[in-house]
Amino acid sequence: MASILVFAAPMAHAENEPLLEDPFGIIGPAATPVGGQTTTLGLNFTRSRHRTNRDLYNGSVEAEAGLVRGLDLRFSQNLEYGPAAPYPRDEAARLWGGYTQMGLRWQLTEEDGWRPALGVFGALQTSYGETSRPSENGQILALLSKTIIEGPRPLAFLLNAGWSELFNPEPRERAGRYQAAVALAQSVGQNTSLGLSYAVDQQDRGENDKNTITAGIWHRLGDSGPILSAGAGAGVGDDSPRFLVFAQAKWLFGAAAGR
């Protein structure tokens, strides 16, 4: 969400269940079990549609830990590298930036018959860059998932919707921004799943909303991982990126590995 690489959280990891991972840009409502931890490393590249914006390289690490039943702690650290905007491509100074995010995910209900699984995610984030002062924002997201097709090759629908609020906006910078994403996750094998997501993010300086469609594949090496993933996406609209590509590797520990 926003200009953030958001990592998928596991939907199912039991040895006798097919893999079904949350698609790119989606946070599922299922919290990491008590005594379980996950670590995810990721790389992605985003190509700007206009030369007045930045092409960005992004590297990130995310960790999750189950605290109590239905509640986990999520930490992520992102670094971004790319030319300053606006820029002529052959003269661009490369600038560093990034963000640190800490949040909690609370699973409100488990899926039961017609009732979907519901949850909420709240986080505080500090963003920083070479040419701007650090900024802080708070984020709140409603989380939903519902299995559409049961059985050995399940298909699930997922939804995120929420709000992000800057605590110290700069002049002409929008303080509050909405964000939403919908997705489908499909298991295609015991250790493989596919994901398709569509995300809408309100941007901070009056641009049109950023719209991205992303598809990916997730594959678990053995019963307990690691889980490798890769995918690509495209922007829709003049103020959306031209395309993006991503790759991730996730390790599961403790109760998360046997979930």
pLDDT for 118:
98
- Half-sphere CA count of 76, side-chain side, radius 13 A: 25
Among candidate residues 240, 242, 161, 162, the one with its CA nearest the CA of residue 203? 240
Alpha-carbon distance 246 to 120, whole Å? 26
Alpha-carbon distance 27 to 11, whole Å? 10
Alpha-carbon distance 12 to 213, whole Å? 24
152: left (phi over 0), alpha (psi -120 to 50) or beta: alpha
User: Domain coordinates of the chain in residue numbers?
Assistant: 36-254
Beta-carbon contacts of residue 150 (< 8 Å; ≥ 6 apart): none
Alpha-carbon distance 98 to 205, whole Å? 19
pLDDT for 259:
57
pLDDT for 246:
97
Is residue 46 within 8 Å of residue 25, measured between CB atoms? no
In this structure, what token pair is assigned to residue 99?
């963000």
Global pTM reads: 0.85
Alpha-carbon distance 122 to 141, whole Å? 6
In DSSP notation, 11-41 reads: S---TTS---BPPTT---SPPPPBTEEEEEE
pLDDT for 225:
74
Beta-carbon contacts of residue 84 (< 8 Å; ≥ 6 apart): 54, 92, 93, 94, 95, 131
Is residue 202 within 8 Å of residue 179, measured between CB atoms? yes
Give the class (CATH, top level) of 36-254: mainly beta
Phi, psi of 89 (to 5 degrees): -55, -35
Residues 9-35: tens digit of each pLDDT: 445 444 568 999 999 999 999 999 999
Residues of the chain with pLDDT under 50: 1-10, 12-14, 85-91
Residues 43-81: tens digit of each pLDDT: 999 988 775 566 889 999 999 999 999 999 999 999 988
Please count the other Cβ atoms lying within 10 Å of the Cβ belonging to residue 171.
4
> Three-class SS string for 126-177?
EEEECCEEEEEEEEEEEEEEEEEECCCCCEEEEEEEEEEEECCCCCCCCCEE
